[in-house]
Structure 1
Amino acid sequence: MVTEKSAIFIIFGGSGDLAHRKLYPSLFRLYKSGFLKDHFAVIGTARRPWSDDYFRETVITSLKDYFDDSESVMKEFAQHFFYQSHDVNDSEHYIALKNLAAKLDDQFSAGHNRVYYMAIAPRFFGTVAEHINSEGLKTDGYNRLVIEKPFGRDLDSACELNGNISKAFPEDDIYRIDHYLGKKMVQVIPDLRAHNPKFEKALNNKYVSNIQVTLAEKIGVEDRGGYYETAGVLRDMVQNHIMQIIGATAMDEPEATDAKIIHKHKCDLFASLKEMTPEQVDQDFVRGQYDTDNLGEENAYRQEDKVAEDSNIETFTAGKLEFDSDRWSGVPFYVRSGKRMPDKTSRIDIVFNEKVDELGIKPNTVVTLLIERKDGHSILINGIDYKESAQDFIKFPEEKEFDNAREAYESLIIDILSGDRVHFTLWDELRSTWKYIDTIEERWASQTPEFPNYISGTMGPDSAEMLLERDGNSWVWDD
């Protein structure tokens, strides 16, 4: 049974690519399904001097890229959209925004609920949050602040940003988006563990040889060269997406699946990340940058738009993480992410050892959780769909629901409207992961890599294979 939600969305950066490519299509899906119907409105803000009518036309145009619904349905949806030209540093603009939101709240009976969505450059997050507070935009309904990554570029900047935001909003009202936490497989990992006792019992250092997380992309940086020059794949993919995937997979079994308990176990896990010396960074983390392909038809990273000709930014990284905990001490967690790899894949490979035979699981079994489903498969056992495997120690509890899983942003917006923070990132988690990543970044900043060092369309630099071979292991996903 779908329960209609009521809120005024104020989207800072409402004229931008993220809003048109992700947010508006997701809101339209919620509109068609009934989660949003009569009691909501969207205010888009940006510096551009658009009218309401022009803004609505851009929204409808963005929907036509994803949907084949009639234009009348799209126009009906777009009547809930309004626009205000906005300077994030001008207090008067926030007062005008407050008055417009109050007017629309009365018009649409939105229950005095507000969702403030930051689809803008991170350098403006603190400024906007402070003005929302100081200019009295908050209401007696709920007031939820949604923040896109990146949340800082290191621990110091993340602390400064969090300090500015927390002056205006309590932690319980801050929703830090990580779209991988909106993906169905990542969301159901706690349920998967709870519904498969034998699988859960095997998730520890007695039975696990190693765990691998791979987030690979076939494309290059495309039009994100300017962003990548300030980030690199370690900050862009490992610090947030990969760490959160590890958190869902490796945290202690939660007593319940509510947000406070899930986040407590994740915080405990990340706090146990084994610190590295600079010499250990050299040994346990490798980086790469893509060259052109074998035919010379693809750009090398250094040939991409807005990329320096001598750039030392990594487009690939692989590493070994370890935890100082009773559950995981001694188990390597291998992580890998890169651009211009042979195929697109997002997967978790759990490699069991010989002792797992004690639990009735075949020795050296590999369980693969496919975050991005491939050929209709969600879980593989030794490369075979779990439903066709001779082993039955793991079953998917919601397979039918998985087939109709919502798009990640759609799912996360529902959680925001429902006040459910389980699939968002807490500050304590970020603080631990940034501290860990900073150690690697600081070491890399003191060295000059020999880039480019892998051909487009390959598995990355040879050092990524050697990283596992040194431990007597190998990557499960290998072209």
Structure 2
Amino acid sequence: MSPTGRPNPLRDPRDRRLPRIAGPCSMVIFGVTGDLSRKKVMPAIYDLANRGLLPPGFSLVGFARRDWEDQDFAQIVHDAVKQHARTEFRQEVWDQLAEGFRFVAGAFDDDEAFDTLRRTLLELDEARGTGGNHAFYLAIPPGLFGTVASQLQEHGLAEDPNAWRRVVVEKPFGHDLASARELNEVLGEVFPSGSIFRIDHYLGKETVQNILAMRFANEMFEPLWNSNYVDHVQISMAEDVGIGGRAGYYDGIGAARDVIQNHLLQLLALVAMEEPTSFDADSLRVEKEKVLAAVVLAKPLNRSTARGQYVEGWAGGEKVPGFLQEEGIAKDSRTETFAAITVEVENRRWAGVPFYLRTGKRLARRVTEVAVVFKRAPHLPFSEHSTEELTQNALVVRVQPDEGMTLRFGSKVPGTALEIRDVSMDFAYGGSFTESSPEAYERLILDVLLGDPPLFPRHEEVELSWKILDPVLEHWARTGSPEPYASGAWGPSSSFAMLSRHGRTWRRP
């Protein structure tokens, strides 16, 4: 309880006092042979079972064009769990979970296969007590969403008056505003809005959710959280790896569509939003949508944006190829592997404060962070030499790795002279809590099964994000190729010029 006697909206009583256990249900995974299913979804389901958060009769159905039996599918899940699960492998948990495994072979346009799927789910309702409650996870390319959704509808699987049916889709939610709207219409014709769960796995990370806790559970930050005190905000997601084996997906998509449109703009919304009246899904979404509707691109775009493409260089002590040398990439590809944009939020709180968003592959290190950089003190009563090393105060939220927060401020150096130097006060999740953080997909899949949607963006948020990004993509399409940058560096020179022309620099994580 809060000091006023009212429930604390930031503390979900189900998390601490009662476990959030899903009721009777099953999940069907389309695209069960892909990396997403093997590395994320299947291990997360096992971890939930291992933590006692799934019902005893929970069932998992795989759907793919493979000549498999149920036991073959079980072996695939077993291998994925052994390799990627976060929690320890316990045979008794596995045995109970595996009893509910089923596999349906067929193509997405195969009517007979969907008839088999319907019979399989009815059998699970009877044998496992799943109660007609089924979630359909579309771990497949967006171009196939319509086919699967239509098949679910035609075979009576999309709705049940006595149970719930939900569909889960992964990003990208379209490749521009028009395609996002088309995708929303396709899903909306089959499932009601409240039954469509769009997964942005960044919103399931503990440190992302902690932005809300940090802002609204502490009095010390919110009075400073405005243009009177904040100079600018940097939101970065850097990867030290290349595209790996994702050429088929990545080429033509690029860094801006892959990361800025979803992850980084969602982080911006959480940082910049007003305090919601409560932490239910509708209240959170209303405030995020207000922020995204107020976001405008800084102009001109040739100076407020940057894009690049990594070339060969050194990363982790090894010589690595450039993007155009990666297998499956066209030699004349104009797909960017680095993207940065400058935006402003046109409202009273943030007027005049630039938000710098950047993401890239083959950068110097892997890090995702939000840095709120404060204005300099209007007057420093120290000599010039006393503060030559002093920089601006900053609050940095580290999303990954080394999850936590750092507060940078000036402090006196021990000694007789009055010398001021930057110091950092650090909070790390691993050092402050004995509980290990659940993987993002654990939280999000459990929320799907519970029908708890606060962490899932609604279609209005998706469309507002595309409205922000589309003009940038159109500008880049007209202006030649991305600027080369060396692997292992921090991106192209144009990204540094974005900030330096205003007397600012990117943080070096």
Give 1:162-241 correspondences, 5 Å limit.
162-241=184-263
Q: CA–CA distance in 1 between the matches of 2:232 and 2:148?
A: 43
Q: Secondary structure at the match of 1:351?
A: strand
- Contact 1:218-1:339 within 8 A present in 2 as well: yes
Displacement of 1:89 in angstroms is 1.6
Q: Which residue of 2 aligns with 1:268?
A: 290
| 2:349 is aligned with 1:327 | yes
Q: Which residue of 1 aligns with 2:4?
A: none
Q: Which residue of 1 aligns with 2:461?
A: 429
Give 1:69-468 correspondences, 5 Å limit.
69-70=89-90, 73-137=93-157, 138-139=159-160, 140-275=162-297, 280-293=300-313, 297-354=319-376, 364-374=392-402, 378-382=404-408, 403-449=435-481, 451=483, 453-468=484-499
Which residue among 22, 28, 31 is the counterpart of 1:10? 28
Q: For residues 36-69 of structure 1, give each alpha carbon's deviation from its aligned partner in whole angstroms, at most 9, with x where no partner exists.
A: 1412101100111211111111111111213552
- Contact 1:52-1:82 within 8 A present in 2 as well: yes
Displacement of 1:79 in angstroms is 2.3
RMSD of aligned alpha carbons: 2.5
Q: Secondary structure at the match of 1:237?
A: helix
Q: CA–CA distance in 2 between the matches of 1:355 and 1:8?
A: 57
Q: Secondary structure at the match of 1:220?
A: coil
| 2:87 is aligned with 1:61 | no
Q: Secondary structure at the match of 1:289?
A: strand
Q: CA–CA distance in 1 between the matches of 2:65 and 2:409?
A: 51
Q: CA–CA distance in 1 between the matches of 2:503 and 2:20?
A: 53
What letter matches 1:475 in structure 2? Answer: W
- Contact 1:153-1:235 within 8 A present in 2 as well: yes
Displacement of 1:434 in angstroms is 0.5
Give structure 1 stretches of 5+ with no counterpart.
Answer: none
| Percent of paired sites with the same residue | 33
Q: CA–CA distance in 2 between the matches of 1:476 and 1:403?
A: 30
Q: CA–CA distance in 2 between the matches of 1:327 and 1:404?
A: 36
Q: CA–CA distance in 1 between the matches of 2:284 and 2:260?
A: 20
The structure number with the bigger radius of gyration is 2
What letter matches 2:135 in structure 1? Answer: V
Q: CA–CA distance in 2 between the matches of 1:355 and 1:415?
A: 44
Displacement of 1:194 in angstroms is 1.2
Displacement of 1:373 in angstroms is 4.0
Q: For residues 150-207 of structure 1, give each alpha carbon's deviation from its aligned partner in whole angstroms, at most 9, with x where no partner exists.
A: 1100111111111111011111111100010010011121121111122012111111
Q: 1:398 to 1:249 in 2, by over 3 A?
A: farther
Q: For residues 192-230 of structure 1, give each alpha carbon's deviation from its aligned partner in whole angstroms, at most 9, with x where no partner exists.
A: 111112201211111110000010000000111121112
Q: Which residue of 2 aligns with 1:42?
A: 60
Q: For residues 334-359 of structure 1, give each alpha carbon's deviation from its aligned partner in whole angstroms, at most 9, with x where no partner exists.
A: 111000111100100000113699xx
What letter matches 2:504 in structure 1? Answer: N
What letter matches 1:2 in structure 2? Answer: P
Aligned length: 464
What letter matches 2:212 in structure 1? Answer: P
Displacement of 1:447 in angstroms is 1.9
- Contact 1:191-1:397 within 8 A present in 2 as well: no
What letter matches 1:473 in structure 2? Answer: R
Q: CA–CA distance in 2 between the matches of 1:105 and 1:447?
A: 57
Q: Secondary structure at the match of 2:19?
A: coil
Displacement of 1:86 in angstroms is 2.3
- Contact 1:207-1:356 within 8 A present in 2 as well: no
Q: CA–CA distance in 2 between the matches of 1:324 and 1:250?
A: 11
Q: CA–CA distance in 2 between the matches of 1:433 and 1:249?
A: 15
Q: CA–CA distance in 2 between the matches of 1:142 and 1:437?
A: 35
Q: CA–CA distance in 1 between the matches of 2:479 and 2:434?
A: 45
- Contact 2:139-2:169 within 8 A present in 1 as well: yes
Q: Secondary structure at the match of 1:368?
A: strand
Displacement of 1:464 in angstroms is 1.1
Q: Secondary structure at the match of 2:296?
A: coil
- Contact 1:192-1:396 within 8 A present in 2 as well: no
- Contact 2:48-2:54 within 8 A present in 1 as well: yes
Q: CA–CA distance in 2 between the matches of 1:3 and 1:271?
A: 34
Q: 1:315 to 1:31 in 2, by over 3 A?
A: same
TM-score normalised by the chain length of structure 1: 0.91
Q: 1:254 to 1:244 in 2, by over 3 A?
A: same
Q: CA–CA distance in 1 between the matches of 2:318 and 2:124?
A: 55
